Structure 1
Amino acid sequence: MSTLYNDVVIIGAGFSGINLACQLQRKLNFSDYVIYDRGHDLGGTWSSNRYPGCGVDIPAIFYSLSWFPNAKFTSIFPPQEEILEYLRQVALRHNVIPHIKLRTEWKSARWLEKTSRWQIVVQNIENGESFVHEAKILVSAVGGYTNAKYPTLHGIDKFKGPVVHTAKWDQAYDLEGRNVVIIGNGCSASQVIPAIIDEVGSITQFIRSPQYYVPMPNFCISRLWRTLFQYTPLLLMLTRWFVFWILETALTQFYKDKNGQRARQKSVRISENYVRKSAPERYWPLLSPQYDLGCKRRILDHKYIKSLHNPKMLLTKDSVVSVRSNSVLSASGKEYFADFIILATGFEFTQWQADSVFGRKGLSLKQHWDEFGGIEAYKTIAMNEFPNLFYILGPNSGRGHTSVLYSIECSVDLVINVARPILEGRAASIEVRKDAETEWCKTVQEALRETVLTRSCLNQFSDPKTGWNFFSYPFSSVRLWLGTRFPVKSHWNYKK
């Protein structure tokens, strides 16, 4: 296999990878990097998720990078196409696109102690050829909404129509007059159903557990307001800060103290009242969760609850046990005819390549986590025994109440701060100290035990062996900013 070299290899051309590339150029005047992405286009989750109705559930003004604000969004919660176009403009403006290599997937990575480099095995998806790329620094900027989660459905191979995960949508699909079965009831399902219900013949939605729905109308942003934002940057900045603090108040409801209980009770009442006011009464039991609010991400609803009144729509908690050539069979024995099956079943959190990333002494990331006791990373970005390796959107970087772009920006700032000596030639490697990693992990898990995120349910964000929540960051956004803007130098070991 041939060997290539760049100082920095970035895996993933979504918001994380492109933001890191831009900041390397803006802050360090550094451009010796390459970005690998397995997709057909840049954009990460906003490129792969193109299903009807796909959009962001964070207000647009805060779903943009702080150093590249966007005044052109046409609605409060813009559709996927606008988010992708915004990210493309960021990459174009900063000349990132020539550094991106698409349809290329990393297969493994190994630390070479003698040369203080990462040896990364990469594969061209189009022709299957593999090659080696070495780098001083390896950064995984692969997001969590990347690897689609498929349910086990007996007989699925016999179904004559399309079976499509929302993350694998093809714009050429024709749903006109079709009988559609949708499995799942998370954010994707709540967006796709209102978007297709007028054209299909029928929709049968199979759900597993109820969700909390919060009313969130999606108003258009008029041309006047877009013009004001474009030519009055101060107004755009102030509005962004206002939205930031409004979203930040939602953090309170995750905690188990009295203030948290009151905040949750208030939010539960809002959700219950919304469902009873807006949904058909026969569906109320299917829309009434029994777990703590905050255990799963709330769904900000624009049109889904309203669509349940459509006579084409059937919502059921009956589970699918098998699939036939033109129908699905449920646990109750009912048969539901179908021409098209949509899997809105979420994602596998396997983006960290734990089995195939090897640090010092050949230790794999999975072995590290097994010895450590769970999936974790110091300040979400680094692990001891894995020098010069960083993760953007690593373990415990998720925020259940605010924009993930905020977490991305903070993590990128921290990576650049601690990696600067390597990129400037003043050090060969950097590694977080084991005691710092241990203390950080202990602090995070102790804080999480004071929240509902580890109490009332074990979900896809929890380690099944330990019960650790590896998704959520249980502190305020201000603490996150301070912890990444001013890194503790004694927590890192540099080797010259």
Structure 2
Amino acid sequence: MDVKQLPVRRSDVAIIGAGFSGINIACQLQRKLGVTDYVIYDRASDYGGTWFANRYPGCGVDIPGVFYSLSWAPNAEFSRAFPSQPEILDYLRRVATQQNIPQHIRLRTEWTGAHWDEKACKWRVFLTDLETGAPFIHEAKILVSAVGGYVNPKYPSLPGLEDFQGPVAHTAAWPEHLDLAGKNVVVVGNGCSASQTVPAIIDQVQSVTQFVRSPQYYVPMPNIKIPQLLRQAFSLLPALLLLFRWFFFWLLETSLFQFYNDKSGQRAREWAVKTSRDHVRKTAPEQYWPLLTPSYDLGCRRRILDDRYLKTLSNPKMFLTNDSIASVGKNSVTTMSGKEYPTDVIILATGFEFTQWKSDSIIGRNGVSLQQHWRQFGGIEAYKSVAMSEFPNLFYLLGPNSGSGHTSVLYSIECSTELILKLAQPVLNRRAAAVEADGNAEREWCETIQGALRKTVLTKSCSSHFTDAHTGWNFFSYPFSSLRFWFGTRFPDMSHWTYT
């Protein structure tokens, strides 16, 4: 179809993604700038982002709930220290409803690309209505990518899987009505999702055979219930809830130092490794210790906060193995050693495809694609994690190097949102047509980030899915303190940004 014939919609701001990032920036556009001319697009059937997509049994957060909430919308109602998926989704939707956000959300709509219109100083965003298949264009002064990474399932290559006669469920695409009662279940993977799923299903199944792909580090962390009296105190005394929030902020911040390759970092890692191994030996059956003892540096991959998983390994219904799957039959799984396991249900806890970095279909100034831009810079990056030169009025939330292995991602989202609001305000107030990051400042920032990362364990040697296998660049982690992130977004050097 001729692009000129496509229907066109318009607003000041277009936001892609209706999870925490998209909901938060929409709320803050209204609260702080008085902007209501915006639209949020999401391809899912309902909003909530990661917390709508991930609905597997036992799903929850591994950051204390008091800090896994928005600073301007504290939540006193979480029932446990580490809230469950239903509670988090309920909280997010409650915040959105209170701020009248749902009326701005358009679901079952997927973006396929965006082109910068230099003459009009607008983004032409290409989208498709997934219900009808009809494409259309949305023109906006400001384009915000609030697309998260923990949504798209990553499926392993298992010969014969298509012939399996029972249900196959990925933790990131959990069927609404999956009956596991009395079934022989195979779980593929042993990361965070698997460690939550296995304890949640063990009582109802006939057996669980779990295939370990790589050992993990486990941190003992009981998920204690928050007494009703304390929750009432949080509601009546907001300052008390704020005090708890600050306490956990600083507590989590201290764990940053164990990622560094200096002497203090090595000592911190040695202590954490000892804690993990002691916990494994105290809690898990001895026969599984070799499968639960990593050889890579602590910090390379996400640690698992363990409440019930290691205890579950002592259940007679449970069997753990690193014997790789060779093939899948109609009602069984056969391993490389030739062993065959009767199987009624296969659960894939194999992680996510990080497809949020659309690059070849985003075209900035002079016809340069984002993919070309990143090739020039040497890898996926963004100045202050939110913007790139040659791409005016385009901002990322949860952008490159905005994540962290030691604290709440919502903190990063809020900091980045504050910076985006500051930069976008002159454009939205019609005092400027466009704002763009300075290329030299962007390159210097990029070199600073990657130089700092090389002094940590977060490098190519980790073989992490957050590291580019070709360049060795880590495009996820922020290697500095959270306070530096805060100051850098609240008090940016405006000489590094150009307004036209």
TM-score band by shorter chain is over 0.9
Please state whether the residue corresponding to 2:123 is helix, strand or coil.
Answer: strand
Question: What is the aligned partner in structure 2 of residue 319 from structure 1?
Answer: 324
2:274 equivalent among 240, 248, 269? 269
2:293 equivalent among 285, 288, 292? 288
Counterpart CA distance in 2 for 1:354 and 1:208 is 30
1:234 equivalent among 227, 239, 253? 239
Matched, 1:246 2:257: no
Amino acid at match of 1:389: L
Counterpart CA distance in 1 for 2:341 and 2:134 is 44
Q: CA deviation at 1:321?
A: 2.1
Amino acid at match of 2:98: R
Gaps of 5+ in 2: 1-5
Report Cα offsets for 1:404-442 as digits up to 9, x if no partner: 000000010010011111011011111101101100000
Question: What is the aligned partner in structure 2 of residue 404 from structure 1?
Answer: 409
Counterpart CA distance in 2 for 1:356 and 1:163 is 33
Question: What is the aligned partner in structure 1 of residue 309 from structure 2?
Answer: 304
Q: Do 1:165 and 1:343's aligned partners in 2 also have CA atoms closer than 8 Å?
A: yes
2:98 equivalent among 93, 96, 118? 93
Counterpart CA distance in 1 for 2:469 and 2:298 is 21
Counterpart CA distance in 2 for 1:335 and 1:387 is 57
2:284 equivalent among 271, 279, 283? 279
Question: What is the aligned partner in structure 2 of residue 349 from structure 1?
Answer: 354
* Residue range with higher mean Cα deviation, 367-376 or 442-451: 367-376
Matched, 1:463 2:468: yes
Please state whether the residue corresponding to 1:114 is helix, strand or coil.
Answer: coil
* TM-score when normalising by structure 2: 0.98
Counterpart CA distance in 1 for 2:269 and 2:42 is 40
Counterpart CA distance in 2 for 1:207 and 1:434 is 45
Matched, 1:133 2:138: yes
Q: Do 1:16 and 1:141's aligned partners in 2 also have CA atoms closer than 8 Å?
A: yes
Report Cα offsets for 1:378-409 as digits up to 9, x if no partner: 11111111111000001111110111000000
Report Cα offsets for 1:168-214 as digits up to 9, x if no partner: 00231100111111111110000000000110111111111100001
Q: CA deviation at 1:259?
A: 0.9
Q: CA deviation at 1:327?
A: 1.2
Please state whether the residue corresponding to 2:462 is helix, strand or coil.
Answer: coil
Please state whether the residue corresponding to 1:452 is helix, strand or coil.
Answer: coil
Q: Do 1:292 and 1:456's aligned partners in 2 also have CA atoms closer than 8 Å?
A: no
Pick closer, same or farther for the CA change 1:335–1:70 going to 2, 3 Å: same
Counterpart CA distance in 2 for 1:339 and 1:372 is 49
Amino acid at match of 2:277: E
Q: Do 1:204 and 1:316's aligned partners in 2 also have CA atoms closer than 8 Å?
A: yes
For residues 372-411 of structure 1, what are the structure 2 equivalents within 5 Å? 372-411=377-416
Please state whether the residue corresponding to 1:55 is helix, strand or coil.
Answer: coil
Counterpart CA distance in 2 for 1:171 and 1:270 is 38
Q: CA deviation at 1:456?
A: 3.7
Question: What is the aligned partner in structure 1 of residue 82 from structure 2?
Answer: 77
Q: CA deviation at 1:491?
A: 0.7
Amino acid at match of 2:455: E
2:262 equivalent among 229, 241, 257? 257
Q: Do 1:432 and 1:492's aligned partners in 2 also have CA atoms closer than 8 Å?
A: yes
Aligned-pair identity in percent equals 65
Q: Do 2:56 and 2:197's aligned partners in 1 also have CA atoms closer than 8 Å?
A: yes
Please state whether the residue corresponding to 1:4 is helix, strand or coil.
Answer: strand
Counterpart CA distance in 1 for 2:329 and 2:374 is 41
Q: Do 1:280 and 1:308's aligned partners in 2 also have CA atoms closer than 8 Å?
A: yes
Q: Do 2:460 and 2:469's aligned partners in 1 also have CA atoms closer than 8 Å?
A: no
Question: What is the aligned partner in structure 2 of residue 190 from structure 1?
Answer: 195
* TM-score when normalising by structure 1: 0.99
Q: Do 2:109 and 2:129's aligned partners in 1 also have CA atoms closer than 8 Å?
A: yes
Question: What is the aligned partner in structure 2 of residue 333 from structure 1?
Answer: 338
Matched, 1:157 2:140: no
Amino acid at match of 1:59: P
Counterpart CA distance in 2 for 1:208 and 1:354 is 30
Counterpart CA distance in 1 for 2:155 and 2:372 is 26
Please state whether the residue corresponding to 1:259 is helix, strand or coil.
Answer: helix
Matched, 1:63 2:42: no
Q: Do 1:320 and 1:330's aligned partners in 2 also have CA atoms closer than 8 Å?
A: yes
Question: What is the aligned partner in structure 2 of residue 117 from structure 1?
Answer: 122
Counterpart CA distance in 1 for 2:131 and 2:198 is 34
Q: CA deviation at 1:455?
A: 5.7
2:490 equivalent among 469, 485, 492? 485
Q: Do 1:417 and 1:487's aligned partners in 2 also have CA atoms closer than 8 Å?
A: no
Q: CA deviation at 1:119?
A: 0.5
Report Cα offsets for 1:310-353 as digits up to 9, x if no partner: 11111111111221111122111211221111111111111121
* Residue range with higher mean Cα deviation, 207-216 or 357-366: 357-366
Q: Do 2:460 and 2:468's aligned partners in 1 also have CA atoms closer than 8 Å?
A: no
Counterpart CA distance in 2 for 1:196 and 1:126 is 34
Counterpart CA distance in 1 for 2:431 and 2:123 is 18
Amino acid at match of 2:337: S
Question: What is the aligned partner in structure 2 of residue 38 from structure 1?
Answer: 43
Please state whether the residue corresponding to 1:348 is helix, strand or coil.
Answer: coil
Matched, 1:209 2:219: no
Counterpart CA distance in 1 for 2:249 and 2:491 is 21
Question: What is the aligned partner in structure 1 of residue 480 from structure 2?
Answer: 475
Please state whether the residue corresponding to 1:251 is helix, strand or coil.
Answer: helix
State the number of aligned residues: 495
Amino acid at match of 2:285: P
- After the TM superposition, list the runs of 4 or more consecutive aligned residues in structure 1 that deviate by more than 4 angstroms: none
Question: What is the aligned partner in structure 1 of residue 152 from structure 2?
Answer: 147
Gaps of 5+ in 1: none
Counterpart CA distance in 2 for 1:460 and 1:367 is 22
Amino acid at match of 2:233: L
Counterpart CA distance in 2 for 1:307 and 1:216 is 15
Question: What is the aligned partner in structure 1 of residue 184 from structure 2?
Answer: 179
Q: Do 1:8 and 1:33's aligned partners in 2 also have CA atoms closer than 8 Å?
A: yes
Counterpart CA distance in 1 for 2:55 and 2:333 is 25
Q: Do 1:396 and 1:470's aligned partners in 2 also have CA atoms closer than 8 Å?
A: yes
Please state whether the residue corresponding to 1:136 is helix, strand or coil.
Answer: strand
Question: What is the aligned partner in structure 1 of residue 3 from structure 2?
Answer: none
Amino acid at match of 1:39: A
